Amino acid sequence: MDSHGQYEQQVVWAVVGTDIGPLMLAATREGLVSVVFHATEQVREAALGRLASRLGAEPVESPGSPLLAEAIGQMEQYFAGARHDFELPLDWSLISGFNRQVLRELASGVPYGTVVGYGDLAGRVGQPGAAQAVGMAMGANPLPVVVPCHRVVESDGGIGGFGGGLETKRKLLALEGVLPEPLF
């Protein structure tokens, strides 16, 4: 506690190796707050700086933290094909408004092994015609993989964009059986 009897914000982080490269996971007392793709040292440093600025606490590396242990375990199970749903507390504090509404709908309404169009997802949150705004929400997703923005595709069958790169999106969709495994 601080001198005013308030609990100080705690942010812990760790890196987990996956089939799509290293992911940095960060958590607060509320839950998982951030997942970062391609977590090289340079990417981690930038992400940690953003988290410190946004959350008001310096993130501490703590792979053994109870806040992260369950998230790491579930991530490993997901990539091993043994888990289809993440059952983790999430800290939504890095996202708000329309983006949060869209991401919550995505997390609860688009199950493993399925996809949804940008426009369809916009309609689900009462904003038909807001497909581009949904695309922006996907790009702002602080919790990719867990909040499965890789499951959002173009209505004409195109794969759409992806913050982790199109190869990563293809691998995640292949893992879930939506796309065939890449040949090479």
What is this structure's pTM?
A: 0.91
**pLDDT tens across the length of the chain (184 residues):** 444 444 567 999 999 999 999 999 999 999 999 999 999 999 999 999 999 999 999 999 999 998 899 999 999 999 999 999 999 999 999 999 999 999 999 999 999 999 999 999 999 999 999 999 999 999 999 999 999 999 999 988 888 889 899 999 999 999 999 987 665 4
Place of tokens 């992260």: 68
Catalytic residues: 149
- Written as six digits, the tokens of 118 are 């940008």
Phi-psi region of 24 (alpha: psi -120 to 50; beta: other; left: phi over 0): beta
